[in-house]
Amino acid sequence: MKLVDLLAIALVVGAAAAFFAGEVAIARTEDLRALYWLSVGAVCVRAGVQVGRPGAKG
């Protein structure tokens, strides 16, 4: 396993944590905080998938 694979996994784990924080913020009606954490989660998911892909379709 390469270092970039670990980075991809860390980004997906980070996305889950950010989504969790976003949901908690929505439940507490802290909308700006929720928007921030959900944006972080979405970008983390995108980055995780892009880093995790080992190559172009062969």
Partner 1 sequence: MRARDLWERVATAGIAAQGAVPGLYAWGVTVVPVAWVRGGPVAAKVAAIAAPLALGAGVAGERVWGDAARIASLWAFVVASAVTWAAARAGLGPLHVDGPRGVAGMLGWALFAFTCAGPALRGGSDADAPVTPRGQPSGRGGARVEALCVGAGALAAALLQTVGWKVVGTERALLVRFVALAAGLAVLGAATEVALARSAARAPRSSRSRLRGATTSLVALAILAAGGLLLLTAD
What are 28's two structure tokens?
């507490």
- Residue 32 CA from chain centroid, whole number: 18
Please state the length of the chain: 58
* Minimum CB–partner distance for residue 38 and partner 1 (Å): 7
Position 55: which residue type? G
Count of residues touching partner 1 (by CB under 8 A)? 41
* Minimum CB–partner distance for residue 5 and partner 1 (Å): 7
What are 38's two structure tokens?
């959900």
30 forms part of the interface with partner 1 (CB under 8 A): no
Q: Which 8-state DSSP code applies to residue 56? A: S
Residues that bind partner 1 (CB under 8 A): 1-5, 8-9, 12-13, 15-16, 19-20, 22-24, 26-27, 29, 36, 38-58
